[in-house]
Structure 1
Amino acid sequence: MSVFVILGLLVCIEAQGPSAVTTVFVKKGDDLILNVDDVPEKFLIVDWKFNKMVVVVFAPGGGRSVIPDFTGRIEFPVKTFSVKLKNLQEADSGVYAARVATLQGDKPLAEYKVTVQGPVSPVELTVDSVDSVVSRSSDSCNLTVTCSTQHSHISSTFRCVSGTCSQEGGERSELTTSGASLHVYLLYGAIICNHSNQVNWTEDFKRIEPFCPQYAGSEGSSAGTSVYLVKMVVFSVGLIIMVSAVITVHLMEKFKKHK
């Protein structure tokens, strides 16, 4: 049966409703397996579409056809009717849907919304200005920073007063032109600049201490010290338990010998 006859049958059969959509993010250059389940034993056609264009057709008896544009770009795993997309690029982003045609009607099998993303570009954090004020009542230090990529940037101000640092207006984030997220925030005495999408991330950071020595690390030092103390306590307790176990075994063996 030719592909054209198969496509004609598909057009003539009535659809029975949409299937659940699975969202998938894939790193550029990676492969992706699209699975199907619950295919009836008796069928006319099983096909895969990319953005409503038929790209693969399975016929009864094991025959299958791939359109020329996808030849060499699709493999067939062991699982029947599943497909493996090779070396995905941004242009391969879209909706991939499988359906089965029977004498009783047309039934959707699976639908995937695939987004192919490349690695994000490097990010740079720069300190634009530092304003320190020392007085009898209180000391303060303001830092204005810019978190930037090649085509996007966001700025934010961090204020330290009486040993406590905070980000004015809260964390700053925005979507870049490529759909990635640019994010700047405060964490453990450091300002973090993060550029990320669903498959990749890069970041840059600067400690507050070199710019505001009297305040820097007030949050980070306490947090870091707490983590360090917890680790030391756990290590010490574990060591005591191990030594106690060795001594107990040794004493029991010694007691058995003299019994």
Structure 2
Amino acid sequence: MVMILQLILVLSTLISVTVPSEVLGLVGNSVQMDIQHPIPEFKMFLWVFNKNKNILNYNSKTKTTKRYSAYEGRVELNEKNYSLKLKNLQKTDSGLYEAKAFGDVDRVVAEYRLSVLDPVEAPVLTLQLSRDTCNITLTCRGHDLSIKSSCYKEMCEEKEVTSPGGITLSLSVNGSSIICNHSNTVSWKTDVLERRKLKQLCADEGEGSVSPSAGVSVCLLKIVLYSISLTLMLSAVITVHVRGRLIKSS
């Protein structure tokens, strides 16, 4: 009867841990994997990678933890709940992780499938002007993805594309900002353009091609020319008057 109960217990445990839980990590960061099922009485507790690479083990009799050389300085075991913390993640850490309790009944009490991803690159958001500066083309680029969006004044098309590898590039408008966002499932980076810049470009177009400083220069030039003309006219009048008096006196 005892053997039957133990067999049922083992079978139920195997059934419940057939599908590993998916875990995502970022290169250089840490990840924690907790126990998923009740732990029976055990003599040895083991975390193992890809079925055949030991990470660490805990001896319940001596209450000591042994870390294997490949993970020395990178793993921590919580001796109260037996969760595993893996630090300074690398792409090569991607794979299957299992926690096993060995005693009268050997049981897998946790199973995870870890995927370690690189952080995304910072995107670049640029604008291209047309003859009508109220119509502007924005380009959002991130790695091998690109989005073009047409804007009129401050209003821009919102767009998004996703690569087969799960990397997303999006261009969105949020309040006073236009945001180019480059992301995957564990990281994101943005480039931001203030909407008032588009409004200013359009306003400058409405004021014409002459800048305020140029306008001042034109005005000053007109005053100078007018003064010169007036001076020449006055000089001509004086000259005629003087000649007339000379003629009379002679």
The verdict on a shared fold, with TM-score over 0.5 as the criterion, is yes
- Work out the CA distance in 2 between the residues paired with 1:74 and 1:122: 30
Alignment of 1:116-131 (within 5 A): 116-130=116-130
Encode CA deviations 1:77-106: one digit per residue, 9 max, x unaligned.
3325333323222222223221334445x4
Among candidates 14, 24, 45, match of residue 16 of structure 1: 14
Encode CA deviations 1:30-86: one digit per residue, 9 max, x unaligned.
333333252112x35432222223413344524554443223332323325333323
CA contact (8 A) 2:138 2:151 kept: no
Matched with 2:192 is 205
Q: Which amino acid aligns with 1:110?
A: A
- 5+ residue gaps, structure 2, are 1-9, 205-250
CA contact (8 A) 1:173 1:184 kept: no
Which has more radius of gyration?
A: 2
Q: Offset at 1:164?
A: 7.9
- Work out the CA distance in 1 between the residues paired with 2:65 and 2:79: 14
- The secondary structure found in structure 1 opposite 2:14 is coil
Distance 1:165 1:66, change over 3 A: same
1:175 aligns with 2:163: yes
- Work out the CA distance in 2 between the residues paired with 1:87 and 1:65: 19
Q: Which amino acid aligns with 1:39?
A: I
Distance 1:64 1:164, change over 3 A: closer
- The secondary structure found in structure 2 opposite 1:195 is strand
Matched with 2:147 is 155
Q: Which amino acid aligns with 1:52?
A: K
Matched with 1:81 is 82
Matched with 2:178 is 191
Q: Offset at 1:127?
A: 1.5
Q: Which TM-score applies when normalising by structure 1? A: 0.57
CA contact (8 A) 1:156 1:172 kept: no
Backbone CA RMSD of aligned residues: 3.4
Q: Offset at 1:22?
A: 3.6
Q: Percent identity, please.
A: 29
Q: Which has the higher helix share?
A: 2
Q: Which amino acid aligns with 1:73?
A: R
Alignment of 1:27-66 (within 5 A): 27-36=26-35, 38-41=38-41, 43=42, 45-55=44-54, 56-61=56-61, 62=63, 64-66=65-67
- Work out the CA distance in 1 between the residues paired with 2:78 and 2:155: 55
- The secondary structure found in structure 1 opposite 2:112 is strand
- The secondary structure found in structure 2 opposite 1:16 is helix
- The secondary structure found in structure 2 opposite 1:209 is helix
Q: Which amino acid aligns with 1:171?
A: K
CA contact (8 A) 2:20 2:112 kept: yes
Q: Offset at 1:193?
A: 0.6
Q: Which TM-score applies when normalising by structure 2? A: 0.59
Matched with 1:165 is 155
Q: Offset at 1:172?
A: 1.9
- The secondary structure found in structure 2 opposite 1:119 is coil
Q: Offset at 1:203?
A: 1.3
Q: Which amino acid aligns with 1:26?
A: G
CA contact (8 A) 1:142 1:157 kept: no
- Work out the CA distance in 1 between the residues paired with 2:102 and 2:203: 71
Q: Offset at 1:201?
A: 2.5
CA contact (8 A) 2:160 2:168 kept: no
